[in-house]
Amino acid sequence: MEAFLHQILSGLATGGIYAAIALSLVMIYQATHHINFAQGEMAMFSTYLAWMMIDAGLPYWVAFAGTVALSFVLGVLIERIVIRPVEHAPVLSVVIVFIALLVILNSLAGWIFSYTIKTFPSPFTWEGSQNGYLSPHELGTIGVTLLVLAALFLFFRFTSLGLAMRAAAQNPVSSRLAGIRVGWMLALGWGLAAAIGAIAGMMIAPVVYLDPNMMAGVMLYAFAAALLGGIDNPLGAVVGGFVVGVVENLAGAYVVGTELKLTVALALIIGVLVFRPTGLFGRRYVTRV
C-alpha cells in the first residue's frame, strides 16, 4: 500500500511536467489549430539556455527568470519568422515545418552544447519537507505547475490582453474588425507556449538529465496528456497531464515494466483519438459540406 501510494504521488510529480508541456501545446493549438511537434525541443533548448546562465554563475532564480523571458522572445520570433509564411498552407506543409524546427533545434543544441549528458540543479532542496512520499523536487514541480496554471487562468480571465488573445483565437476576422492585431496575438501565444515549455524543461531536467534528446519521451506523454484532456482546453490539459503521469507510473510499476512505458503513451494516444477524439473536456466540431 505504501509503495502504491508512493507510485501515485511520484506519478503526480512527473504528471506536473507533462501537464506544463501539454499546456503549452494547448496554447498554440487554441490560437492556430496546429499541434506543435517542436514544443519539446523548444523546451529542451530553453533548458540549455538556463544551464548556460547557471554555469556562468548566475543564481538559480535569476537564471530561471532570464530563461523564461528569453524563451518568450524566441517563441515570438519563431512564430514571426518560421511559422508565419505557412499560416494558410495545407496541414502537411505545417507539419513538415514543425518537423524541420524539431530537427534544427535538436541538432543546434547538440552542435552548441555537445551530446554529453549534463546534470541540472533543482531549486527545491530545503530540509524538513521530506515526508517520505515526495522528494522536495517532486513537491516543487507540482507546485510550480499549479502556479503556472493559476497565472494563466488569471491572465486570460482578467486582463484585456488575455481577452484579446482569446478573441483572436476564436474569431480572427471579427477580432481584426474590432481592432485587435490578430497576428501579434498569435505570436504572443507562441511566446507564452515557449515560456511555459521552458519552465517545464527546467523542472524535468534534474530528473532526466540534460541532453538534446531528453524530451522525446516527455513529449509523447505531453501529447497523450493534451489529447486526453481535450486539445483545446487548458484545464483539461493539466488534468490530463496528472492522469497520464499516474497511469504511466502505475503501468510501469505493475503492468508492463519500465521498458515499455513509451508504448503505454502510444496506446493512450491512439485510444483517445479513436474512442474519444475530443478528449475528456474538449469541444466537438462539426464540418459543413
Partner 1 sequence: MRMAGVIVTIAVLVALPFFISDYRTFQFTQAIVYAIVLLGLNLLTGYNGQISLGHGAFYAVGAYTAAILMEHFGVPYWATVPAAGLVCFGFGFLFGLPALRLHGHYLALATFALAVATPQVLKVKHLEAWTGGVQGIVIIKPDPPFGLPLSQDRWLYFFTLAVAMLLFLAAWNLVRGRAGRAMVALRDHPIAAEAMGVNGAMVKSTVFGISALYTGIGGALGAIAVQFVAPDSFGTFLSISFVVGIVVGGLATLSGAIWGALFIQFVPNVADQISKAAPWAIYGAVLLVFIYVAPGGVAYLLSRVWGKLRG
d(CA 236, CA 230): 6
- Nearest Cα neighbor of 228 from 245, 214, 240, 246 is 240
- Interface with partner 1 includes 108 (CB under 8 A)? yes
d(CA 202, CA 218): 13
CB nearer partner 1, residue 64 or residue 223: 223
Site string for partner 1, 211-250 (x = CB under 8 A): -----xx-xx--xx--x-----------------------
Main-chain phi, psi angles of 214, to 5 degrees: -65, -25
Give the shortest CB-97-to-partner 1 separation in angstroms: 6
DSSP-derived letter for residue 283 is P
Give the shortest CB-31-to-partner 1 separation in angstroms: 14
- Interface with partner 1 includes 34 (CB under 8 A)? yes
- Interface with partner 1 includes 260 (CB under 8 A)? yes
Main-chain phi, psi angles of 210, to 5 degrees: -95, 115
Contact 222, 28 (CB under 8 A): no
Number of C-beta neighbours around residue 155 at 10 A: 14
CA distances from 288 to 89, 135, 171 (A): 20, 51, 17
CB nearer partner 1, residue 85 or residue 143: 85
- Interface with partner 1 includes 107 (CB under 8 A)? yes
Give the shortest CB-285-to-partner 1 separation in angstroms: 11
- Interface with partner 1 includes 259 (CB under 8 A)? yes
CA distances from 104 to 1, 99, 272 (A): 46, 9, 30
- Interface with partner 1 includes 277 (CB under 8 A)? yes
**Where does this chain touch partner 1 (CB under 8 A) — which range of 7-15, 72-80, 237-245, 273-281?**
273-281
- Interface with partner 1 includes 117 (CB under 8 A)? no
Give the shortest CB-124-to-partner 1 separation in angstroms: 29
Give the shortest CB-90-to-partner 1 separation in angstroms: 8
Burial group, residue 171, by CB count within 10 angstroms (0-12, 13-18, 19+): middle
C-alpha cell recorded at residue 147: 502556479
User: 494563466: which residue's cell?
Assistant: 152
Give the shortest CB-66-to-partner 1 separation in angstroms: 25
Type of residue at 54: I
**Where does this chain touch partner 1 (CB under 8 A) — which range of 90-98, 133-141, 155-163, 200-208?**
90-98
CB nearer partner 1, residue 180 or residue 219: 219
Give the one residue of 49, 74, 101, 180 binding partner 1; rule: CB under 8 A. 101
d(CA 69, CA 156): 19
**Site for partner 1, rule CB under 8 A:** 33-35, 37, 82, 85-86, 89, 91-97, 99-104, 106-108, 110-111, 115, 216-217, 219-220, 223-224, 227, 257, 259-263, 265-266, 269-270, 273-274, 277, 287, 289
